[in-house]
A and B are shown apart, each in its own frame.
Chain A
Amino acid sequence: MAVVMKGFMELMHELIEKLAAQQDPGISESLTARAKIYAARIRLQHVVDQADGLDAIREIAANLIGCEQLAVYKVDHSAAALWLYWSFGIDPNQYAVLDAVKNPNLKEVLTGSIVFAAGDRSRNLLAVEDHVSAIVPIIVSDAVVAVIVLFRLLPQKTAFDVADRELCRVLSGSAGRAITPPATKLTKGNSSARE
């Protein structure tokens, strides 16, 4: 793992040098967004296994988006249910399963769309106690295999901005390695199908 991480850091430095060489004063306004999106993409592209994939999702949600309460659900299409697979910062017993039949937002997510709370903190996307800020489908080979639920954002974060929405799209298209076992690892082509 240490060897893999060393290689990853070396690659990261090389990529950053290349990006820095593309400096353009006109893009300074969107620099935060660019830096976050590049960092997220590179991190997800170099995921080594499922545990690392889940850690990458947590890092992106907590450090780049500003959400330290999240859960990943595996989709059971036959039962129209979502089973909790992994969580961070929430009580897992409270959110073990979500019923896709009863919730229109989940139905929409299962078609491949990302649903945001649109900055309205009084509007909750799921009928649960904690506020849900966004629900992101994880898409593998054009199918929704899992769903990321982003709960409450950090207090200093008032709403999703353009960069956050793009980060959610990156997660949707590239976080499949956190769910799919190594034997069915994605190819580069289908892991970025939505980008």
Chain B
Amino acid sequence: MAKKVLLVDDSTTTLMMEEMILKQNTNYECFTAKDGVDAITCAVEHSPDLVLMDVVMPRLNGFEACKHMRAHSELSRIPIILVTTRGEEDYVATGFQSGCNDYITKPINSRELVTLLHSYLGE
């Protein structure tokens, strides 16, 4: 059975690019959500094996959505990778404090993304 990945970003351009990269390089099944609130709803509905989530989003940002997921009994163990524009120490620390497992910086490189996801989900 294909592993399920939930892609979360308010930018349709980014969602499109991420989905294209994963479809061409992996057998993962992709779902998309456009902000943190949608992400939680979608995660409860589809039980993804991993969440790849942007930080800056309307309604509920990536850090907050991450905290909500960690506090949710059904979502607390799902690996969460945050997509950030900044890789500075403080910013990354905030991400880990919110409960994320890893992070990747923009602009996304396909090889880096696929390698990172393989490390959590296998090929």
Question: Is the A/B pair a real complex?
Answer: yes
Select B24's contact among A20, A43, A66, A156, beta carbons within 8 Å: A20
Contacts of B24 in A (CB 8 A): 19-20, 23, 31, 35
Of the listed stretches A57-65, A73-81, A93-101, A113-121, chain B binds A57-65
Contacts of B35 in A (CB 8 A): none
Q: Please classify the interface of chain B as helix (H, G, I), strand (E, B), loop, or mixed, using the class held by over half of its residues.
A: helix
Contact A20 B85 (CB under 8 A): no
Contact B107 A28 (CB under 8 A): no
Give the distance in Å from the alpha carbon of A54 to the alpha carbon of B20 in the complex: 23
Interface: B14 (CB within 8 A):
yes
Contact A12 B16 (CB under 8 A): yes
Interface size on B, residues (CB 8 A): 25
What string of 1s and 0s marks CB contacts (under 8 Å) between A156-175 and chain B?
Answer: 11000000000000000000
Q: Decide: A42 near B16, CB < 8 A? Known: A31-B110, A59-B11.
A: yes
Contact B16 A38 (CB under 8 A): yes
Contacts of A66 in B (CB 8 A): 106-107
Select A32's contact among B11, B14, B21, B32, beta carbons within 8 Å: B21
Give the distance in Å from the alpha carbon of A112 to the alpha carbon of B48 in the complex: 47
Give the distance in Å from the alpha carbon of A20 to the alpha carbon of B9 in the complex: 21
Q: Decide: A39 near B13, CB < 8 A? Known: A9-B32, A28-B25, A156-B105.
A: yes
What residue in chain B is nearest A66 (Cβ atoms)?
B107
Tally of A-B Cβ pairs under 8 angstroms: 88
Give the distance in Å from the alpha carbon of A59 to the alpha carbon of B14 in the complex: 8
Interface: A83 (CB within 8 A):
no
Give the distance in Å from the alpha carbon of A9 to the alpha carbon of B11 in the complex: 11
* B:22-54 near A, CB below 8 Å: 23-25, 32
Contact A63 B106 (CB under 8 A): yes
Q: What is the distance, in angstroms, from B67's C-beta to the closest C-beta of chain A? A: 24
Interface: B17 (CB within 8 A):
yes
Contact A154 B23 (CB under 8 A): no
What residue in chain B is nearest A163 (Cβ atoms)?
B107
Give the distance in Å from the alpha carbon of A92 to the alpha carbon of B64 in the complex: 31
Contacts of B14 in A (CB 8 A): 39, 59, 63-64
Interface: B97 (CB within 8 A):
no
Contacts of A12 in B (CB 8 A): 12, 15-16, 19
Interface residues in chain A, defined as those with a beta carbon under 8 Å from any beta carbon in chain B: 5, 8-9, 12-13, 16-17, 19-20, 23, 28, 31-32, 34-36, 38-40, 42-43, 56, 59-60, 62-66, 68, 154-157
